Amino acid sequence: MIPPIYKASDSRYEAGMQYVRCGKSGVRLPAISLGLWHNFGGVNNFENSLAMAHYAFDHGVVHFDLANNYGPPYGSAEETFGLMMKKSFLPYRDEMFISSKAGYDMWEGPYGNWGSRKYLMASLDQSLRRMNLDYVDLFYSHRYDPETPLDETLQALVDIVRQGKALYVGISRWPLEAADYAFKYLKERDVPCLIYQGRYSILDREVATSGILDKACDAGVGFIGFSPLAQGLLTDRYLNGIPSDSRMAVGNHLKQDVLSEKMLATIKTLNTIAGQRGEALSDMALAWILADKRVTSVIIGASSVPQLATNLKALSSAPFTQEELEMIDAACR
């Protein structure tokens, strides 16, 4: 047993975090949540990952978002998180809202991917073991599976809650019609969908244009936006080239060809607008999403404590003027 060495800040709930009701549920989530997709894997420096988790929790970020395959290698972000639970967070478990997901490729063979009951149930059991948890607060179907009957995936979610392995369930990246079906199916079985997770940023507004945001809102389901900084594009990271330690240079999830001349011009214009507001581009990008009242929370990623510190400043951003909103829209055209 590793002795606890971490004591959370006594002022963690006075650090400026806002807690927003998630749809029509009893849960309030921090307006800014922390995702462990990158920078918490087995390839990453554990001390840096731990420092980010401590900083987040010390500033009221009580929601940590994981998935079975976050790493690399797959599963290792959950292992890192499990170690952090042991080392630091076990005394605070009831203050934390921890999510995981299954839906993408995780292990070999026919049962390690997509949306079958077999996969979801086995994957969650593995996730719990890796994270040293008895239950997750929230378990997601990570993506829509066009081949598995929706009822099978959804009933597995219902049964996972009945088994006590998750307190709530959600869906991520499901198309509108399937999401509508899921919301109804789950509600009829008294396991209402807590939240929909979708990509949302100044640069990617598909969840708004497709009707997902309105649908979730109308159904009393919360919405949490992922990649709100467009994986770093909506920060100062790429204004003057591609830093060698950046996600674009290192990983394979943010391709270099995204940084076209047009994209760079857009980012530079957005950066100027943010400067006129007296804030960092990352803060304006986060504040822009949080200004959408249909949004419960945004899940940010970070590779360092200073990035996290900058991003949390978005909570005190000034409201947008109509002129600023129009300038932001114009920059994205």
Among 44, 141, 307, 317, binds ligand NAP (CB under 6 A): 307
* Cβ closest to ligand NAP, residue 4 vs residue 29: 29
Nearest alpha-carbon partner for 34 in 256, 302, 284: 302
Q: Exposure string (b/e) for 74-99, b if CB count within 10 Å is 16 or more?
A: bbbbbbbbbbbbebbbeebeeebbbb
By CB under 6 A, is residue 232 in contact with ligand NAP? yes
* Cβ closest to ligand NAP, residue 49 vs residue 148: 49
Pairing of strands 222-226, 28-30: unpaired
Among 44, 227, 296, 297, binds ligand NAP (CB under 6 A): 227
Q: Say how many residues touch ligand NAP, by CB under 6 A.
A: 31
Among 136, 247, 271, 297, binds ligand NAP (CB under 6 A): 247
Distance set, CA 197 to CA 96, 207, 210 (Å)? 18, 10, 14
Of 14-22, 87-95, 146-154, 227-235, the window that binds ligand NAP (rule: CB under 6 A) is: 227-235
Residues 168-197 contacting ligand NAP, CB under 6 A: 172-173, 197
Phi, psi of 98 (to 5 degrees): -115, 130
Among 80, 297, 303, 317, binds ligand NAP (CB under 6 A): 303
By CB under 6 A, is residue 237 in contact with ligand NAP? yes
Of 22-30, 35-43, 47-55, 256-264, the window that binds ligand NAP (rule: CB under 6 A) is: 35-43
Q: Which residues pair with residue 291 across a beta bridge?
A: none
Smallest gap, in angstroms, from Cβ of residue 138 to ligand NAP? 12
By CB under 6 A, is residue 231 in contact with ligand NAP? yes
Provide the mask over 260-289, with x wherever binding to ligand NAP is found by CB under 6 A and - wherever it is not: ----------------------x-------
Nearest alpha-carbon partner for 233 in 207, 252, 206, 260: 260
Among 32, 65, 76, 117, binds ligand NAP (CB under 6 A): 65
- Rounded Cα distance between 130 and 82, Å, is 6
User: Measured in whole angstroms, how far is the alpha carbon of residue 101 from the centre of its chain?
Assistant: 11
* Cβ closest to ligand NAP, residue 60 vs residue 71: 71
By CB under 6 A, is residue 62 in contact with ligand NAP? no
By CB under 6 A, is residue 75 in contact with ligand NAP? no
List residues near ligand NAP by CB under 6 A: 35-39, 65, 142, 172-173, 197, 226-232, 235-237, 246-247, 282, 299-303, 307, 310-311
